[in-house]
Amino acid sequence: MSFTGKKVAFHTLGCKLNFSETSTIARLFEQEGFTKVNFAEPADVYVINTCSVTENADRECKQIVKGALSVAPDAFVAVVGCYAQLKPEEIARIEGVDVVLGATEKFKLLNYISDLSKKSQTEIYNCEIDEANFFVDAYSFGDRTRSFLKVQDGCDYTCAFCTIPLARGSSRSDTIENVVANAKKIAESGVKEIVLTGVNIGDFGNGQLIDPLGKNKRQYTFLDLIRELDNVEGIERFRISSIEPNLLKDEVIEFVAQSKRFVPHFHIPLQSGSNKILKLMRRRYLRELYADRVAKIKTLMPHCCIGVDLIVGFPGETEADFNETYTFINQLDVSYLHVFTYSERANTDAIHMSDSVNYAERKKRNKMLRILSAKKLRSFYEQHINTNHRVLFEQENKEGFMYGFTENYIKIKHPFQAELCKQSMEVSVSGIDTNGNCLVIVHKLNSSLV
C-alpha cells in the first residue's frame, strides 16, 4: 500500500531519550510517504510514545488516545515505548488503541501497519525484556533548536524504585564511530547544540563486545566518547544529560572544564541526601561522594550549572531523614532541583517495603523542595547579572518574546526578532525578569551572529 498523502502525528511522554526515538520513528514514516502533522490535527495514524516514570500513566494514555480520536475517529492508534513494554494488556484495554509495541518492536512499527484500518481487537507485540539486548541508534531532528542524540540504552543497576531496566533491558551502547557519524549528520542540518542522552550514559561502552563466556565487555568509555565528539566541526555545543555521580569521574569533569564544545552544565541525580535512604534505594554512592563531585565541578568551573534529581516520600523516609536531605541540598552549591514524589511501581522491591509515607506528607515534602529549588535558581541567576554570555535562541514567538539558553543553562528572554531564531549571539544580561519566573533578560546584544 502506498502511504503517499497519508498523515501521521506523534505524542511523546517522558525523557529526552524518548524524544530522540520518536523523531527517528517519524523519519521512518516520512521515508514511506507520510506527512508529519501536529498531534492536535487530523491524521491517519497517531503514535504515542510512553514513559514508565509518568504518574497515572494509564489515565494519561487514555486521555491522549481519546483526544486523538475526537479529532480523527477512524485513525489508526499505536502505543509504543516503556509503559507499552511494562503493561501492554493495560493499554490494550483502552478503547481505540489498535497496536501496542514494546521495547524491541517500536522501531518496526511500519511492519504492523497495513491498510490503516481500525482493528477489531488490539494487537500486542511484546518481547521478553532479556531479548532487548541490541542497540538502535536515534536522534531528534528538525523539532527543536537542539538535537537529542542517543548514545546508550538500558541499565544494569537495580535501584529499588526503578522500572526502567524492566522497560528497556540491559545496558548497551552505540559505537563511538556511529555516534560521531550521527553528530556530523546533525551538524550538516545546521543544528548548533547536541544533548547526549541515554538511560545511564556514564555507562557508555558497556555491551559493545561479548567475550567467549557471553559476558558484556567494555571497549570504550564515556570519556573516550566525549573526547571524539569534541572534534566534530559545526556543532557549537555538546550538553551532557543526566549522569550518575559514581560514573562522573574526575577525568570527565576535567575534560569538560577545558573542552572546546562541551558546556559547563551537569545534571546529576542524587535522589536523597540521607545515606540511610540511599542504601534502602540501592544507589551506588553515598552523599559524601555527591558532595565531592559538586565541589570538584565548582572548583574547575565556578559558573557551572548543576541540576539535581530528588525523590521524596520513599518508604522509610522519616521527617528526620527528609530534613537531612533538605539541609544537605541547602548547603550544596547547586542550581536547580527536579523533585519527584515517590509513587509505588509494580515489580519493584520498594513496593514491598514497610513504613510507607503518607501521601499528603509526600506532597508537603515535594513542595518544600520545589520552593528551595526556586531559591537556588534565583541565586544562581543573580550571580550572573551584569555578565556576558553566548545565548542560542529558540524559534518560538511567545507573546512577543523569544527565549534561549546560555552555555551554562541560564534562560534568556528577549523581544522576538525572527532573524535571531536558531542563532547564537553574545549578550549582556541586566537582571531577573519581573514576572517572577526567574528569567534573565537581555540588556544589550552584540550584533555579530555566529
Lowest mean pLDDT segment, chosen from 158-162, 178-182, 442-446: 442-446
Distance CA 433, CA 406 (A): 16
Angle between helical axes of 287-300 and 250-258 (0-180°, round to 10): 20
pLDDT at residue 192 tops 80: yes
Pick the closest to residue 111 from 25, 10, 206, 220 (CA basis). Answer: 25
pLDDT at residue 144 tops 80: no
Is residue 272 within 8 A of residue 317, CB to CB? The reply is: yes
Count of CB atoms situated within 10 Å of the CB of 433: 15
Lowest mean pLDDT segment, chosen from 16-30, 215-229, 376-390: 215-229
Q: Cα–Cα–Cα angle for 173, 147, 432, nearest 5°?
A: 125
Distance CA 239, CA 408 (A): 9
| pLDDT tier for residue 133 given thresholds of 50, 70 and 90 | confident
Q: Domain segments of the chain: what residues? A: 7-127, 146-382, 388-445
The alpha-helical segments, DSSP class H, found in 173-218 are: 176-188
**Mean predicted confidence (pLDDT) in 242-255:** 98
Question: Which pTM does this prediction carry?
Answer: 0.92
Rama region for 145: left / alpha / beta (φ>0; ψ in -120 to 50; rest): alpha
- DSSP H or E stretch at residue 8: strand 7-12
Residue-level length of the chain: 450
The CATH topology of domain 7-127 is: Rossmann fold (3.40.50)
Give the pLDDT score at 450: 43
Quick: pLDDT tens for 331-379. 999 999 999 999 999 899 999 999 999 999 999 999 999 999 999 999 9
Is residue 349 within 8 A of residue 160, CB to CB? The reply is: yes
Quick: pLDDT tens for 408-426. 999 999 999 998 888 888 9
Q: The domain 388-445 is classified under which CATH number: 2.40.50, 2.40.160, 3.10.20, 3.90.25?
A: 2.40.50
pLDDT at residue 170 tops 50: yes
Beta-sheet pairing, 45-50 with 76-81: parallel
Is residue 180 within 8 A of residue 187, CB to CB? The reply is: no
Give the pLDDT score at 449: 47
Distance CA 449, CA 426 (A): 8
Q: Is 146-382 the same fold as 7-127?
A: no
Distance CA 201, CA 293 (A): 17
Lowest mean pLDDT segment, chosen from 103-112, 196-205, 286-295, 433-442: 433-442
Give the pLDDT score at 448: 47
* 3-state SS class at 212: coil
Quick: pLDDT tens for 220-230. 999 999 999 99
Distance CA 365, CA 372 (A): 11
Count of CB atoms situated within 10 Å of the CB of 400: 7
| pLDDT tier for residue 211 given thresholds of 50, 70 and 90 | low
pLDDT at residue 190 tops 70: yes
Give the pLDDT score at 399: 87
Average pLDDT over the chain reads: 91
Burial class (CB in 10 A: 0-12, 13-18, 19+), 259: middle
Grid cell at residue 339: 523533585
Strand partners, 445: 427
Beta-sheet pairing, 440-445 with 424-432: antiparallel
**Mean predicted confidence (pLDDT) in 207-218:** 56
Distance CA 8, CA 109 (A): 12
Quick: pLDDT tens for 82-114. 999 999 999 999 999 999 999 889 999 999 988
Q: The domain 146-382 is classified under which CATH number: 1.10.10.10, 3.20.20.140, 3.80.30.20, 3.40.350.10?
A: 3.80.30.20
CA dihedral 218→224→229→232, nearest 10 degrees, is -110
